[in-house]
Every structure is written in structure tokens, then in C-alpha cells.
Amino acid sequence: MTETLTSGGRSPRARRLFARPETGAAVAALVILVFFLAVAPAFRSADSFFTVLYQSSTIGVVATGVGLLMIGGEFDLSAGVMVTTAGLANSMFCWWFGIDLWVGALLSLALCLFIGFLNGYLVMRTGIPSFLITLGTFFVLQGANLGLTKVITGSVTAPDISRMDGYGFLGKIFASSFEVGGVTVWGTVLWWLAFTALAAWVLHRTRTGNWVFAVGGSADSARAVGVPVDRTKIGLFMAVSFLGWFAGMHTLYRFNTLQAGNGVGNEFLYIIAAVVGGTLLTGGYGNAIGVAIGAFIFGMTSLCIVYAGWDPNWFKAFLGVMLLLAVLVNLYVKGLATSAGPARKAEAP
Amino acid sequence: MIRTGKVMLAAVCALAVLTACSEGGRVKQPDEGEGGAGDNSGYTIAMITHETPGDSFWDTVRAGAEQAAKNTGIDLKYSNDPDAGKQAVLIQNAVDSRVDGIATTLVTPDALAGSVKAAADAGIPLVGLNAGIDDYQRLGAQMFFGSDETVAGTAAGERIAAEGAKHPLCVIHQAGSVSLEARCAGVASKLPGTENLQVNGADDAAVVSTLQAKLAQDDSIDYVVGLSAPIALDAIKALDASGSDAKLAAFDLNQATAQAIQDGSLEFAVDQQPYMQGFMAVTSLYLNLKNGNDLGGGEAVLTGPSFVDGDNIDQILPFVQNGTR
């Protein structure tokens, strides 16, 4: 594990701080925040800030799971469309059979967990990289979303659920908002923070967390010292699908209806959030708070370009530059921690 | 793991039985017979579109085409690909399999020109629909059914201007789409203050927060123009959340937007009548094969812009619910 740096030129405390995965992301977030506060007057209000937090939370909830999975050394490309699958399953099942929404929500949860399990099981069983397995799942789900929706409802839009039983209650759980001092706060923001806190706790305070780092660092040595590698990785895939399901429930209960083709492309946003947040693409390094900051950077950048009133045609280009800058600042800060000679050698395996 | 799954499934099934009967579910209808078929003409017609899978607009186009095929006893082969090169290959396939007629969208005229010419060389009548109004004649299509996006955008702009708007926001949900840009350009031709905004159309939450951000950044926006039905629905949420009193217009219809027009949260929708595009493309090919007719005499037949607003929504809503409008 790269986190256990001890010796070096700087004071140990500063070194420890710089070596944490989220420090770089936090510095980058701060730089971007100050920059946009300077150039985008519309961003300087509590309302705007909470809109950014909402946007970050819709990415951040799933990114938390994707980040854990990446620390565990695997990818999930099916996470984006799984969010849509979750919503569609709930909505169409209840519409077709005329039953309560909460039954559909549980069924949808079971389905998502099953997909996550299958992803993990196939990866562990076949040894094929998760990139390929979940790419397959991605296509299957994308096609099934469209095909089944069309067969069941006769169109590519899921039916409106707002008049079905259970809508009010589930809506409160997944898609509620409340006012604090005249500012609208979405429940998803709180859920996002809660999931992040839980993930951080599991990673750093429990044995399971140690297993995650171990299987991501080197699965073979982890197995050799008795870590249940298969169980840990399958569990991580299922954690991603649980959070995907949660995000899907939010989208469904906020918008009442879903387009069957939605969600494509979001899998990369989750991965970007995790990487910007200091998670290594090679696994074994990262943490949940960093991923949350990564999601915040993404949410802030994508909306602040609008707050700044920049030419919308350049949207993606600005976004790309911002994200690259975030990663560079991240790297630079991490570099500060590892620049003094001995530490770098010490961390090499 | 597997046992937990079984228990869960059993529990879910039990719940399903216990809690049956919920509002807003499917209306169970008796099976309809295969009525309405005309003579079996024996023609085979291929329809090839640039439909991106998952867009409700194309369902309606296809529903129109299928009804026309049923009426005239035509065997309709539908295929689609949003990628220009692959759409060209699909047209070539239709030519190679010697269909009697081809209906195709001409969204990327230059990429499709070769295949369209192959159809002409093989003596297969070809009509254009939906997109390609400026190029169908050059490519050799005999007829065209669709809406001129610039005309539609201009008509919308005219109407918005008449309502007193100064600074509309035109929401583009698919970066780089020629037809969406044309609509916004049409609006801008009547209202120079029009501003475009790019959003990620595949993520409703992102669309809402991006719109919210824009409305917060510029409170002089007095009209929002959504270029598809789902985007218009997201815009309703964004307008609510931001407390803006801007009005809202949409392009194209679906059930929820039709409902929103009735409720008054959406001022009007510009309808290009996709059902008619599919229906007329197939029907005209049938008449051309059977009777040598050409509709429009070589000129494009416009299916829009037709406005749906508070005045005519009561008449149109049932058709939207039916999936034919």
C-alpha cells in the first residue's frame, strides 16, 4: 500500500497529509472553486452552490461504489445504463402487473444486485478483465432497456408512475428536497454524504476495507495471505449495482418517467470522478472522500461553465481542460509528498 | 448467495400477489383482431432511418409507416442506424435485396448519396422523409415528406416574439446536430437575442441542473425552447426550481408534454407530425408503384410546423395517447 509513507525530508504530519489520495483533489477543488467564484458572479449564491451539490450527488452516489471497485482493482462500465435499468424495471413491472411501487423497487434492487453479482462472478470465474465483462453487460443492458421497454409499453418511454400506489412514500425516500433558509437542498446530497462516510469508514476502519486495498494491490498475494478475493470483488460489484439502483430510483421518482436510452456515457463520469479524486486506475490506492471531491469537481465544472456564461459550443472543451487541470494539480500535490528520495523508493513494491 | 436470492424472489412474489391493484397501471384491453388490411399488394418496401435507439419520436414515425403498410398490404422492412456510414450500407442492402421501394431519411446527404444513386440505377423508387429537405432532389429522391427545420424554428420564433419575448434560451440536447442547430437558428432569425445552451440529453438530472444554472446566471431569459419532448419536461422542473417566470415551448410531442400543454405549464409544441411522415412515405410509394402518382409534383410535402397549444390540445391529446400523434 502506498499510503504507509513514513520517512522523508518534511515533517511527518505534512507528509502524511500530502500523501493522502484526497489532498490533491481537495486542492484542485479549492482552486477551481476560487476561480469560478471570481469569473462567475451567478455562482456566488447559496442556491447555485446547492444546485452544484445536487448535480455532484447524482454522479457522486454511484461514483462512490465505482471508486471502491477501482480501489479493488476492477472496472464497471455497466454502471451508467444500470441506473436506467433500475428505474425501468421498477416502473414497467408495476405498470404491467398493476402493483405497488415498493414491490417493484425491491424487485429492481434484487435485479441490480443480481447483475452486480453476475459481473463479479464472471470476472472471477473466467479471469477475463472486468473491462470486457462489464462492456458486455453494458451492451446487454442497453439493448434490453430499449427492447423490453418497447415490447412492454409499445414505446421507448417508461410509463408515468405518479399515480401508482407507493409513489408518495418512495418519492420522499429517493427524491425529496427541503428548504433551509430559502435554499432548496436535495435529499440526494445527504444520501451522497452518508454513502461517502460509510464507504470511508468501511475502507479505513474495517477488515473488509483492508481486503479491498489488498485485492486491488495484488490479488495473488492477497489470496496467499488468506483474503477472500472472490468474495471481496463480487461484493464490490454488488456495491456498485446497489448504488446504481439508488441513483436509478432517484431519477425515476424525480422524473416519474424514463427514456429507455438514457444513462449511456455516465459510466465514464463515475470513473472520471474517482480518478480526479485520486483513485489509481491500476487499483490498490484511493479513498472515498477523494471520490466525493472528484464528483464535486465534476459537478462544479460542468455547471460553472454555464454560470460563467461561456459560449456553450465550447462546453466539452472547457470541461476537458478543467478535468485535466484537476488531475495535474492532483499529481503535483501528490508529487510534493513523494519528491524526497527515500520515501519514493520505500513505496515501490 | 443463491439461497438468499431464492428467499428474496419468493418474498417478492408473495408481495406481488398481496399488493396487487395499483392506480396508474396498464389498462388491460381485449386483444384486437388483425383488422383493416386492404388488398395484399405483394410489394416490399424498406424504410431506413437515422433513429437513435430509444427516441420516442421514431416510434411514432414507425407507427405511421406500419399502419400505411397494413392498409395497403405492403411488407414493410424497417431498419435504422444513427451512424451515416451504416445507414448507407442499410440502403445498399435494400437495393441489393431488390425491394420494390425505399423510404429513407436523408440526414447526412453526402454520406448517403452513393446508396441513393444505386437505388435510382436499379430502378427502385426512393422517397425521402423527415430530414434532407434541401438535398433530396439533388440525390435523386422522387418525393419528400417532412418538416423544414429552419421554417419550423422560424415559425416558433415568430410566435414567441409575438408573445413579447426578448431573450429566449434554445436548449440543444445533442451536440453537433444539424437539425437542432437549424431550429435554434430559425428562432434566432426572428429573435436576435436568442441564446443556445448545450445540455447532456442522456441524463435528465444533468439537464435540469444545467438549465437551473443558466436561469440563475441570466435572469433576463423570458422563454425556454426545448427541442424535444423529454427536454421540455426537464425544463418544467428547472423553471419550477429556479423560480423563474420564463415561459416554455417545445418541439415534438409525447404524452407527458401533451398533458403539460393542457395543464398550462407548457405554452405550445411545434409538431412536425411524425406519424404522417411515416404514413405518407409508405402510402406514396404504394401509389407510385401501383398508379404512377407522385405527391407534391417533385416539391417537398411539408408535414409541419403544426402548432399544438391550449386551443387544440383537447382534440389532439387522445391521438397522442394513442401513439399516432
Residue-wise DSSP of B149-209: HHHHHHHHHHHHHHTT-SSEEEEESSTT-HHHHHHHHHHHHH-TT-EEEE--TT-HHHHHH
Residues B168 and B180 occupy one common structural domain: yes
Residues B100 and B168 occupy one common structural domain: no
Mean pLDDT calculated for residue range A55-66: 96
A178 in reach of chain B (CB within 8 A): no
* 3-class SS string, A300-338: HHHHHHHHCCCCHHHHHHHHHHHHHHHHHHHHHHHHHHH
Residue A347 has pLDDT above 50, yes or no: no
Cis status of the peptide bond prior to B305, with omega within 30 of 0: yes
Best of A259, A307, A316 to disrupt the B interface by mutation (most B CBs within 10 Å)? A259
Look at B19 and A95 and tell me if their CB atoms are within 8 Å: no
Provide the domain count of chain B: 2
C-alpha cell at B307: 402548432
**Mode of pairing for the β-strands spanning A177-180 and A183-186:** antiparallel
Greatest CA span in chain B, whole angstroms? 69
Least confident of A195-199, B277-281, B290-294: B290-294
A54 in reach of chain B (CB within 8 A): yes
With beta carbons under 8 A apart, name residues in chain B contacting A96: 25-26
Q: Tell me phi and psi for residue A222, to 5 degrees.
A: -60, -45
Assess contact for A252 and A245: CB atoms under 8 A: no
Residue B48 forms part of a structural domain: yes
pLDDT > 70: percent of chain B? 89
A302 in reach of chain B (CB within 8 A): yes
Look at A307 and B237 and tell me if their CB atoms are within 8 Å: no
Least confident of A12-26, B50-64, B270-284: A12-26
With beta carbons under 8 A apart, name residues in chain B contacting A40: 217
What is the chain B residue with the closest CA to A109?
Answer: B8
pLDDT tens for each residue of A307-318: 998 877 777 888
Q: Residue B282: how many CB atoms within 10 A of its CB?
A: 29
- Mark which residues 100-129 of B lie under 8 Å from A by CB: none
pLDDT tens for each residue of A135-193: 999 999 999 999 999 889 877 888 889 889 999 999 999 999 999 888 889 999 999 99
Instruction: Give the contacts of B17 (CB within 8 A, at least 6 positions apart).
Output: none
Q: For residue A341, what pLDDT is reported?
A: 40
Look at B1 and A255 and tell me if their CB atoms are within 8 Å: no
Which residues does residue B269 pair with via DSSP β-bridges, in sequence order?
Answer: B250, B308
Domain that holds residue B47: 7-147+272-304
Q: How far is the C-alpha of A67 from the C-alpha of A63, rounded, in Å?
A: 6
Residue B53 has pLDDT above 70, yes or no: yes
Q: How far is the C-alpha of B279 from the C-alpha of B241, rounded, in Å?
A: 40
Give, to the nearest 10 degrees, the angle between helix B204-217 and helix A46-71.
150
A257 in reach of chain B (CB within 8 A): yes
Q: For residue A346, what pLDDT is reported?
A: 39
* 3-class SS string, chain A: CCCCCCCCCCCHHHHHHHHCHHHHHHHHHHHHHHHHHHHCHHHCCHHHHHHHHHHHHHHHHHHHHHHHHHHCCCCCCCHHHHHHHHHHHHHHHHHHHCECHHHHHHHHHHHHHHHHHHHHHHHHHHCCCHHHHHHHHHHHHHHHHHHHHHHHHCCCECCCCCCCCCHHHHHHHHCCEEEECCEEEEHHHHHHHHHHHHHHHHHHHCHHHHHHHHHHHCHHHHHHCCCCHHHHHHHHHHHHHHHHHHHHHHHHHHHCCCECCCCCCHHHHHHHHHHHCCCCCCCCCCCHHHHHHHHHHHHHHHHHHHHCCCCHHHHHHHHHHHHHHHHHHHHHHHHHHHCCHHHHHHHCC
Assess contact for B19 and A100: CB atoms under 8 A: yes
Closest by CA to B129, choosing from B141, B120, B139, is B141
Mean pLDDT calculated for residue range B178-193: 92
Residue B266 forms part of a structural domain: yes
Q: For residue B243, what pLDDT is reported?
A: 87
pLDDT tens for each residue of A264-298: 999 999 999 998 888 888 888 888 999 999 999 99
Residue A15 has pLDDT above 80, yes or no: no
- Mark which residues 35-64 of B lie under 8 Å from A by CB: 52-56, 59
Mean pLDDT calculated for residue range A223-244: 96
Shortest Cα distance, chain B CAs vs residue A336, angstroms:
35
Reported pTM: 0.82
Q: How far is the C-alpha of B65 from the C-alpha of B82, rounded, in Å?
A: 19
Assess contact for B106 and B84: CB atoms under 8 A: no
- DSSP annotation of B30 reads P
Q: How far is the C-alpha of B241 from the C-alpha of B244, rounded, in Å?
A: 8
Assess contact for B238 and B254: CB atoms under 8 A: no
Best of B203, B208, B227, B228 to disrupt the A interface by mutation (most A CBs within 10 Å)? B203
Residues B90 and B237 occupy one common structural domain: no
Q: For residue B168, what pLDDT is reported?
A: 96
With beta carbons under 8 A apart, name residues in chain A contacting B212: 51
Stronger pLDDT, B150 or B32, i.e. the higher one = B150
- pLDDT range class, residue A64, cuts 50, 70, 90: very high
- pLDDT range class, residue B84, cuts 50, 70, 90: confident
- Mark which residues 208-237 of B lie under 8 Å from A by CB: 209-210, 212-214, 216-218, 230, 233-234, 237
With beta carbons under 8 A apart, name residues in chain B contacting A58: 203, 205-206, 209
Q: For residue A17, what pLDDT is reported?
A: 73
Residue B197 forms part of a structural domain: yes
Look at A306 and B205 and tell me if their CB atoms are within 8 Å: no
What is the chain B residue with the closest CA to A101?
Answer: B22
Residues B39 and B165 occupy one common structural domain: no
Assess contact for A93 and A108: CB atoms under 8 A: yes
Mean pLDDT calculated for residue range B176-186: 88
Residues B203 and B63 occupy one common structural domain: no
Residues B280 and B233 occupy one common structural domain: no
Q: Residue B195: how many CB atoms within 10 A of its CB?
A: 18
Average of per-residue pLDDT values in chain A? 88
Q: For residue B33, what pLDDT is reported?
A: 45
Which residues does residue B77 pair with via DSSP β-bridges, in sequence order?
Answer: B46
Shortest Cα distance, chain B CAs vs residue A232, angstroms:
13
Mean pLDDT calculated for residue range B203-226: 94
Mean pLDDT calculated for residue range B175-181: 82
Residue B223 forms part of a structural domain: yes
A312 in reach of chain B (CB within 8 A): yes
- Containing B80, the helix (H) or strand (E) segment is strand B75-80
Residues B83 and B169 occupy one common structural domain: no
Q: Residue A70: how many CB atoms within 10 A of its CB?
A: 30
- pLDDT range class, residue A114, cuts 50, 70, 90: very high
Average of per-residue pLDDT values in chain B? 88
Residue B70 forms part of a structural domain: yes
Domain CATH number, residue B109:
3.40.50.2300
Q: Residue B97: how many CB atoms within 10 A of its CB?
A: 10
Which residues does residue B251 pair with via DSSP β-bridges, in sequence order?
Answer: B270
Residues B262 and B190 occupy one common structural domain: yes
Q: What is the ipTM of this complex?
A: 0.81
Residue B315 forms part of a structural domain: no
Q: How far is the C-alpha of A141 from the C-alpha of B62, rounded, in Å?
A: 23
Out of A45, A163, A264, whose CB is closest to B23? A163
A307 in reach of chain B (CB within 8 A): yes
B181 in reach of chain A (CB within 8 A): no
Stronger pLDDT, B110 or A14, i.e. the higher one = B110
Best of B204, B221, B252 to disrupt the A interface by mutation (most A CBs within 10 Å)? B204
Instruction: Give the contacts of B34 (CB within 8 A, at least 6 positions apart).
Output: none
Shortest Cα distance, chain B CAs vs residue A126, angstroms:
19
Assess contact for A51 and A177: CB atoms under 8 A: no
B203 in reach of chain A (CB within 8 A): yes
With beta carbons under 8 A apart, name residues in chain A contacting B214: 306
A146 in reach of chain B (CB within 8 A): yes
Q: For residue B273, what pLDDT is reported?
A: 94
Q: Residue B319: how many CB atoms within 10 A of its CB?
A: 13
B149 in reach of chain A (CB within 8 A): no
A89 in reach of chain B (CB within 8 A): no
From B271, B294, B312, the end of a domain falls on B271
C-alpha cell at B201: 440529453
C-alpha cell at A65: 461504489
- pLDDT range class, residue B35, cuts 50, 70, 90: very low
Q: How far is the C-alpha of A191 from the C-alpha of A23, rounded, in Å?
A: 23
Q: For residue A8, what pLDDT is reported?
A: 45
Shortest Cα distance, chain A CAs vs residue B271, angstroms:
18
Residue ranges in chain B assigned as alpha helix (H): 2-18, 56-72, 84-96, 109-121, 136-139, 149-162, 178-190, 204-217, 229-242, 255-263, 274-291, 313-321
Mean pLDDT calculated for residue range B246-256: 92
Q: For residue B12, what pLDDT is reported?
A: 56
Look at A302 and B9 and tell me if their CB atoms are within 8 Å: no
Residue B320 forms part of a structural domain: no
Q: How far is the C-alpha of A56 from the C-alpha of B206, rounded, in Å?
A: 9
Residues B143 and B14 occupy one common structural domain: yes
pLDDT > 90: percent of chain A? 64
Mean pLDDT calculated for residue range B172-176: 84
Assess contact for A75 and A271: CB atoms under 8 A: yes
- Mark which residues 100-129 of A lie under 8 Å from B by CB: 100-101, 103, 106-107, 110, 114, 117
Residues B56 and B71 occupy one common structural domain: yes
Residues B15 and B140 occupy one common structural domain: yes
Residue B324 forms part of a structural domain: no
Residues B209 and B71 occupy one common structural domain: no
Shortest Cα distance, chain B CAs vs residue A61, angstroms:
13
